[in-house]
Amino acid sequence: MALRPDRDWIRRWNWAGAVSDLRFGVRTLRRNPLYTTGVAGTLALGLAAALITFAVAWRVWLAPMSYPEPERVVRLYELEPLDSTTGSSDVGAQARRQLLSAPVLKGFREHSWRTIEAVSAVLTGLPGEWARDGDTQDISRAAVSPEFFGILGIVPTLGRLPADLEAEAEVLLTERFWRTDLGADPDVVGSEMILGDQALRVVGVVRLPSGYPGPSDDVVTIIKWDGDEPRILRFIETIARVRPGYSPLEARAEVNAFVAALGEIHPEHRGWGMDAVGLADDLMRPFRGVLALLLAAGATFLLLAGVNVLGLVAARRVEGRQDRSIRLALGASEGRLLRGSLGEGLVLALVGSITGVVVASWLIGPLRALVPQNVPRLADVAITPPLVLGWLSVGVALGLIIGVSGYLVSRGAKPSVGRAPVWRAVGVGGRRALVVGQIALTTLLTAGAAAILHNASRLRAIDLGFEAEGLSMARTALPGARYSSPELRWNAWRAILDGLHARGIPAAVAENTPMYNSPMSGDNVPPFPIRADAASEEIFYQYHPVSADYFSVMGIDVLAGRAFGPVDYGSSADVVIVSEEFVGRYFPPGTPVERVLGRVIGPVPAAGGAPAPTIVGVVASSRHQGPDAPVMPDLYVPLSRWFAGAGTLLVKGEPDQVAEVVATVVAQVDPDLSWTPLVPYTSHLEEWFAPLRLQIIMIGVLGSLGLGLAALGLYSVMAYQVSARRQELGIRKAVGATEGKLMRGVLASGVTMAAVGALIGLGTWYRLLPFSRELVDGIDSAGYLVPLSVALIVGGSCVLATFLPAIRAARVDPVVTLKGD
C-alpha cells in the first residue's frame, strides 16, 4: 500500500545516511576538542544563565500567586498628608504610606462596602512560647482576622477553620509546622496547645499560600480589637478582597472617601488619604527592578551565546574550506553536506544544552542559599521537568540554526583539484552588526547593573546614626498574666538590666529599635502628630520608650543635656529626650540645640495625652526607617512611663561572648520567660538590605557573564575575518607589509566595533533612564560617571579579545598562502 503523500518524505529520507553523517560529525568534533569545547561551553553558559534567570524571575515574580484571583487581593495603607499646614492630601506616589490603626480596622470590617468583599488584619512573626511536655519552645505566630482565610482562599488540610464565636480560643497549625514538629499526627486536632499564658484548642491544619504571609510562621491565631486603641497607633497590616466586577482603582476611591469622612470626625485622620495596592505587586515592589534586569539579562545572554556560537562556527567553516572542496570534488552532494552540518550542529547543541541544564540544576541550590530568604517564593525556585524539556527544545532549535548557518557560510566552495577555492567573506557586514549589537546590549545591561550597585553602595555608606557592630539583641513579650501592670513589667526589665550591669555587661531595653522588621520595629513605628502651638505647623514624630543606657549602648551621641538616669524612672515629672531633627522641625529654624533644654513641648499623644513634658536632652538623629527614607523626628521617653510588655534587650558584645551570661541573668529573674535567640544586631540590618544584597549578587554574576560573552563574540568575528582574509593577508605580507601593520589593521577593526557598540549602549542607557527609575529606586544616583566608566571597561575588554586574532593575522606565512593559491 502506498504511503500517504504527506509522509512520502519519510520514505525518501536516507536514514542510514543520516546516521552515518551524525557519526561523521561526532568524529569530526572529537578531532577538534578545543573548538568543540568552545562552542558547547558557550552554549552551556548561555543556556544555564538564561535558565536560572528565567526560573528565578518566573517563580518569584511572574508566576501567579497561589491564592485564587490574586488580582482582586489588595493591601491597604493610610496616606500621610503631603501638606500638613493645609491638611490637604495627594494620594499619588509621593504620599507616604502608613499601616492602619485598630479603630480604623474595626471601622473597615463593620462598614458596608460597595467594592470590597472582606477586610483582614495580618500580623506575622509574633513571638510565642509553646509549653509542651514540661518544656517550652519558641515558635512564630501569625495573628489574623477571621476573614483572612476567605480572602486568600485558604481551606484546612485537616480539621476546620476557627469558629466565629470561639475564634480567639482556637489555633491553627501550619502544615509545615505540623509535619516537621508534630510528625503529621492527625490526632493533634482537638488537643490543647499552651501558647504563652493561653490554653488554645487546635482546630485544624492549614497550608499558607506560597509567598504570603511568609514561610516562618508556625501557628495562626485569631485576633480582634475593641477599637479603643489610639487612632494614631498605625501598626496593623491590612489586606482586602475586591468584589467581582470592581477594580482595585475603584476600591481605592471608595476607601479614600471613607478615610476623608473620618477626618471630619476624628482630627487624627484629617488630611489623610487611603491607598489600595495589589498585594502581589506590593510584595514584589522591592525586588521588581532587579528581577526585570534579571529577565532581560537572561534573554540577552541566550542571544549573545547564540550569536557567539555562530561566529565560532563561521570561523571554523572558513578554516575547513579545503576539506569541503575535496568532498565536493569526490562527488558529495549539497544535501549530504547539509545533513552533515545539521548533525554536527545538533550534537554541539545537545551537549551544550544538557551541560547547561546540569550546571543550572547544580547552581540553583547555592543560589537560594546566597539570596536573602525574605524574597517571596524563593524556596519554590527549582529547575522543573517542564523547564528542562523547554530548554532542551531551545537547544535543539539552536542546533538546527547552527547547522544551517554553518552550511550557508561554507557553501561558496566549488569543486577543484590541486587548487584552493576562491573564498569570499560571506555576510561579514551582518556579523559585524551582530557583534556591535552584542557590545551595545552588554554595555546597557552592565551600566544598569553598575548603577544599581552604586546605589546599594551609596545606601550602605549613609550614616544611620547608631552603631550596630558589636551589639546583640533578643526580643520577648512579658506575659500579661504574670506582668499585669507597667510597674511589674518595668521591675522585671530593671532586674535583668541590673544583673547584666553587675557582671560588667552594658545593656539597655527599647520598645522599638531601628530597622528591625517586626510589627512595632523602627521601620514600622507609626508617626504621631504634634504642634508647638495652635498657629504652628503640625509635624510627625516617632515615639521611642527606652531605658537609661540606651544611647550609650546604641552609640547615639548626646548633643546637649543628658541621657535618662535612675531619677527619671522614680520621679513623677514628665521628661523627654528629642533628636536633632525634632529640634529643627518643632522649633524655629536655626534654634541651637542647647537652647531647647528645659523647654516644655505640647502634649504627647503617644503617651495618652500626657501633660506637656520637659526636654532634658538632645541626641543625634537616627534613621529608624532605613537609609532610603527621610530622617524622622524622634522623641524618647523613659521606659517605665509607657511600656506595653514587648521589648528588645540590647547587649554590648557578640552573642557567643554574652549569651551564657544573659541566659543566667534572665533565668534568675524569670526562668519561664521566652526569648528569641540572641543574635547580632547586624543580622537584622542585613534583612533590611536583603533586596540590595539580591541585586549585588545577581549583578556580579550577570555582569561577568555579559562581559565574557561580549568579548567572546568580538573574538569570534575577528577570528572569522582573519581566517577569511588569510590569502589577502599573506599576499600583503609578501609584498612588504610588516607584522605590526597587519596587527594594527585587525585591532583597528575590533576597536571600531567595540567603540560603536559601547556608544550605542551608553546612549540607550540614558534614553531608557526615565523608565528605569520606575523599576529601581535610586538608579539615577550614579550620574554620568558610572555608566561612562562601564562603557570604557566593556569596550576595553572587547578590544583585548581581538589581540589573539591580530597576532594570528601578523603570523600568516606568505609562502604557505601563495603555494596554496
Alpha helices, H only, 524-672:
550-554, 566-570, 580-586, 655-669
Determine the pLDDT at residue 498. Answer: 92
Question: Cell for 150?
Answer: 476567605
* Span 21-46, pLDDT tens digits: 667 667 767 777 767 777 888 888 88
* Span 553-565, pLDDT tens digits: 999 999 999 999 8
Conformation bin of residue 486: beta by default, left when phi > 0, alpha when psi is -120 to 50: alpha
Res 539 pLDDT > 90: no
* Least confident segment among 1-15, 127-141, 570-584, 767-781: 1-15
**pLDDT-derived band at 656, boundaries 50, 70, 90:** confident
Determine the pLDDT at residue 246. Answer: 95
Determine the pLDDT at residue 3. Answer: 45
Report the C-alpha gap between 548 and 564 in whole angstroms.
Answer: 5
Determine the pLDDT at residue 792. Answer: 84
Determine the pLDDT at residue 84. Answer: 44
Please give the residue that has the higher pLDDT: either 531 or 758.
Answer: 758
Determine the pLDDT at residue 118. Answer: 95
Kindly state the average pLDDT of the residues 343-347. 83
Report the C-alpha gap between 563 and 566 in whole angstroms.
Answer: 10
Please give the residue that has the higher pLDDT: either 355 or 747.
Answer: 355
**pLDDT-derived band at 679, boundaries 50, 70, 90:** confident
Domain ranges, ordered by start, for the chain:
21-61+287-460+691-820, 82-271, 479-672
Cβ(445)–Cβ(702) under 8 Å? yes
User: Beta-carbon neighbour count of residue 331 at 10 Å?
Assistant: 8
- Residue 10 has phi, psi (to 5 degrees) of -65, -40
Determine the pLDDT at residue 763. Answer: 86
Question: Cell for 405?
Answer: 548557518
Three-class secondary structure of residue 22 per DSSP? helix
Determine the pLDDT at residue 481. Answer: 66
Determine the pLDDT at residue 421. Answer: 41
Q: Which of 150, 152, 147, 142 is nearest to 176 (CA)?
A: 142
For all residues of the chain together, what is the average pLDDT?
Answer: 79
Report the C-alpha gap between 661 and 668 in whole angstroms.
Answer: 11
**pLDDT-derived band at 244, boundaries 50, 70, 90:** very high
Kindly state the average pLDDT of the residues 459-485. 82
Cβ(126)–Cβ(517) under 8 Å? no
Conformation bin of residue 815: beta by default, left when phi > 0, alpha when psi is -120 to 50: alpha
* Least confident segment among 319-333, 443-457, 593-607, 678-692: 319-333
* Span 268-312, pLDDT tens digits: 788 888 999 999 988 888 777 777 877 877 887 787 788 778 777
**pLDDT-derived band at 422, boundaries 50, 70, 90:** very low
Res 609 pLDDT > 70: no
* Span 499-536, pLDDT tens digits: 999 999 999 998 888 876 544 444 456 677 777 766 66
Conformation bin of residue 190: beta by default, left when phi > 0, alpha when psi is -120 to 50: left
Kindly state the average pLDDT of the residues 448-471. 83
Kindly state the average pLDDT of the residues 189-199. 86
Q: Which of 777, 48, 63 is nearest to 378 (CA)?
A: 63
Determine the pLDDT at residue 75. Answer: 95
* Least confident segment among 14-23, 391-400, 786-795: 14-23
* Least confident segment among 103-117, 660-674, 710-724, 752-766: 710-724
Residue 713 corresponds to which amino acid?
G
Tell me the whole-structure pTM to 2 decimals.
0.67
Determine the pLDDT at residue 187. Answer: 92
CA 478 from centre of chain: 35
User: Beta-carbon neighbour count of residue 537 at 10 Å?
Assistant: 11
Instruction: Give percent of the chain with pLDDT exceeding 90.
Output: 21
Cβ(746)–Cβ(721) under 8 Å? yes
